[in-house]
A and B are shown apart, each in its own frame.
Chain A
Amino acid sequence: MSRPETVGAMSEAGGTEVIEQELIAILCAVLDADPDEFDSGTRIAGHANWDSMGSLEVMVQIENAFAVRLDLRAYHAVRTVAELATLVRTTSKSG
């Protein structure tokens, strides 16, 4: 199960949008939500279905989708979709 397309796309300009789109898809899948409930600035923890197990689920899905391993502290410090995208982006660069 290779995922070079995604990783490759992230290093391009505008990659953040691609990442955000994928992150929103993951959030919707885990939280059973609609895509229009989220945009870059949405505070993730504000979602009604967000809880500690849900947050771990989202993390696992992100790690799987982007082939990254997130620092838990950094992950928990994230508030918005945009911040999450930045975390994914910087993690995949350094990793």
Chain B
Amino acid sequence: MPLTTTPQGALLDRVRQAARAGRLPDAGDLRALDDAADPAALRLVGRALAALGNRGEDDSAGALRPVRVGLLATSTPGPLEQLFRAVLVAAGMLPDIATGEYGQFEADLATTPERVFDGRDAVCCLLDDSWFLPKGWDGSSVPDLLSYVERRVEDLCDLVRAAADSGSSSLIVLHTVPLSTTVRDAVVSWRDRAGLSRTWYRLNAALLELAESPAVVVVDLVGLLADSAVPAADDRLRRYADIAYTDAALLLLAKEWRRVLQAKSGLSRKVLALDLDNTLWGGVLGEVGPTGVELGGLYPGNCYQELQRTALRLRNQGVILALASKNDEGPVMEALQEHPEVLLRPSTFSAQAVDWSPKAGNLSGMASQLGLATDAFVFMDDSPFECGHVAAELPDVAVVPAAGDPAELVRRLLGRGWFDVLELTDTDRQRPSLYQERGERRRFEAGFASSTAYLHGLEISADIRRVGPYDVQRVAQLAARTNQFNLTGVRFDALETARMAEDPGFLTLACSVADRFGDEGLVGALWVEKREDIWRVLNFVMSCRVLGRGVELAMLGRLAEFAREAGAALVEGEYVRLPRNGMAADLWVQAGFTPSAAEEDGTRLFRLAPENGSELIPQWIRIQERQR
């Protein structure tokens, strides 16, 4: 894509400027870098970031974890150093990379630690098939070819074992090696070709066996290539510059090595905090109830169950599970306890925050409850709003977006290797239950407002309008489906809503919301009866998706404006407790309405003089003036 015009080019410019000034690129740019799949852009970024390494004393670069890496290669590493640097910086590390000389692979690996290994966290070795193959093989004897390969494997294993035993603290990082089809296809008999492949698999098995040494890590590049469908080699670069792999293949390897360094430098995460609705099961519990969520069985329920199974696997390997859900606690516990397809029962979570508070606050709360820092946390949620909020408030937390096709949930959770460790101990395995015993569920913060700085950045716009003919169906659906933010439980259907919309004795309002994450569509509705100069809210419903952004206050603010313009003296509403609407109990008070004494029939009204309602619309919400 053209560098001159694309966002990729703009990102590159910003990264380059920052690196030149010795500054770290800002957090958003680092995240974008991390997501960038384009190796051509990343190698340019890696070049630019080299400037960062030269200024060790800079403050902002000091926020990165320094890692010292040696890079040895049996071929020309080509852009590997740049790609490696880019992915390491994107993951919060500041690499100092020393590369071996071309053609000196064995010598560098064999010579004393002082040269390449000195003080390095890891020495990463880029291997390629030509190192294991005889240059001048003439085709006459396949057994000769195979025994040559076997000797070379032994040579390499001896070299690596010697280096591993040298007492250096550097980790030696190797990878499995793909065999080029240009070599395999030059053996024309299928039997011999199978023999060559068999020998090659043994070669890779021998490399993988080296990982039994605590000083050696071997990543499975062959497996990665098979899964990623990128070409391993570019014949032109191979012949012209002895570059053994394509950029795409090198990027795969760099990202895998990054995971190793992440684990080696103590950046592994210990806690997985999971959202519930549309993450651990399909659907919104508050809308469909415990029996209505999609879990288990066929697609998509099987996707959510597979994510639960994966979380359980992580837990059994020492990852602490935490629950971060905006829901009422009762139905959540009921579903986790009773639903036959649930794999993550309440006892598998070492910390729980199920309430309507902002998730960022809840994550900090759970972190201090567990005695861990938020940089130990991975947070997975399907809502771009929640993900964005946590990323803004707690930049240390690794955020895994769960939006999109649920079939990809597991891959998204595991793909970055957040929980990778070099070695798993018994203490690790016991960690979740240890924390379980310490932990008790509690509320961390009151109210469900998000921080105003974040909300200002969301560019929320609300279109609050009288219900028109095109809104009626959607408003009725919302009334029928909304159980949680539903003030009185009175469900006006399409017919009643349409009638009220026509009748000057009533006011019906609909609200659509959009923000920089996208258009939420119609999310709220109000039904008001004008009783002389008192306007009575018959019901008020709002989709839980948009809670925490002040949209409900904006709607009440607009209602107050309408009432004031019409000369009404009071706006009043009530709250009727229903099984699932506990979260809306405080709405009227939060909006500044005054509670009256309870009426004879036990209901309690909340009242507001409309002129006092103009301040209700939050400053971060822009009201569209489309229709009055």
Query: Would you call the interface of chain B mostly helix, strand, loop, or mixed?
Result: helix
B1–A25 CB distance below 8 A: no
From B4, B40, B240, contact of A64 by CB (8 A): B40
- Find the A residue at minimum CB distance from B8: A1
Chain A interface main SS type: helix
Which residues does chain A contribute within 8 Å of B9, judged by CB atoms?
25
Which residue of A5, A61, A72 contacts B40 across the interface (Cβ within 8 Å)? Answer: A61
In the complex, are the beta carbons of A22 and B240 less than 8 A apart?
no
8 Å CB contact of B241 from A5, A22, A56: A56
Docked-complex contact A22 and B3, CB < 8 angstroms? yes
CB contact between A25 and one of B4, B43, B236 (< 8 Å): that residue: B4
With an 8 A cutoff between CB atoms, is B63 at the interface?
no
| B79 adjacent to chain A (CB < 8 Å) | yes
- In angstroms, Cα B247 to Cα A17, docked, is 29
A30 at the interface (CB under 8 A from B): yes
> A21 an interface residue at 8 Å Cβ cutoff?
yes
Closest to B237 in A: A56
Tally of contact residues, B, Cβ under 8 A = 20
On whether the beta carbons of B240 and A72 are closer than 8 Å, the reply is: yes
Residue B94, interface by CB 8 Å = no
Which residues of B have CB within 8 Å of A26? 3
Question: Is A61 a contact of B241 with CB atoms below 8 Å?
Answer: no
Q: Does B1 lie within 8 Å of A56, measured CB to CB?
A: no
Knowing A22-B3, A22-B4, A26-B3 are in contact, say whether A60-B241 is a contact too (CB < 8 A): no
**B44 beta carbon closer than 8 Å to chain A:** yes
**Interface residues as binary, B13-36 with A (CB distance below 8 Å gives 1, 0 otherwise):** 000100000000000000000000
Q: What are the residues of chain B within 8 A of A16 when measuring CB–CB?
A: none
Cα distance A68–B80 in the bound complex, in angstroms:
22
Q: Are B4 and A60 in contact (CB under 8 A)?
A: no
Asked if B2 is at the interface of the complex by the 8 Å CB criterion, the answer is yes
The yes or no answer to B78 lying at the interface (CB within 8 A) is yes
Cβ contact within 8 Å between A29 and B44:
yes
A1-46 contacts to B (CB < 8 Å): 1, 3, 5-6, 21-22, 25-26, 29-30, 32
Which of A6, A60, A72 touches B43 (beta carbons < 8 Å)?
A60
**Contacts of A49-64 to chain B: CB distance below 8 A:** 52-53, 56-57, 60-61, 64
Asked if A21 meets B1 with Cβ closer than 8 Å, knowing A52-B241, A60-B40, A61-B40, the reply is no
CA distance A1 to B79 in the complex (A): 21
Q: Do A61 and B44 have beta carbons less than 8 Å apart?
A: yes
The reply to whether B3 and A21 form a contact with Cβ atoms under 8 Å apart is no
Q: How far is the CB of A47 from chain B (nearest CB, A)?
A: 15
Which residues 581-604 of B have a CB within 8 angstroms of A? none
A87 at interface by CB-CB < 8 Å? no
The answer to whether residues A61 and B79 also contact, given A52-B241, A56-B241, A72-B236 and a CB cut-off of 8 A, is no
> Do B79 and A6 touch across chains, with their CB atoms under 8 A apart?
no
Question: Once the chains are docked, how many angstroms separate the CA of A21 from the CA of B2?
Answer: 10
Of all chain A residues, the one with the shortest Cβ separation from B38 is A1
Chain A residues contacting B12 (CB-CB under 8 Å) are 29
The answer to whether A65 and B1 have CB atoms under 8 Å apart is: yes
Which chain A residues have a beta carbon within 8 Å of chain B's beta carbons?
1, 3, 5-6, 21-22, 25-26, 29-30, 32, 52-53, 56-57, 60-61, 64-65, 72
Sort A-B residue pairs by CB-CB distance and give the 10 closest, nearest first. A64-B40, A25-B4, A25-B3, A3-B1, A22-B2, A72-B236, A6-B2, A29-B44, A61-B40, A22-B4
11 A–B pairs (Cβ distance < 8 Å), ordered by A: A3-B1, A21-B4, A25-B9, A29-B3, A30-B44, A53-B241, A56-B240, A56-B243, A60-B40, A60-B43, A65-B3
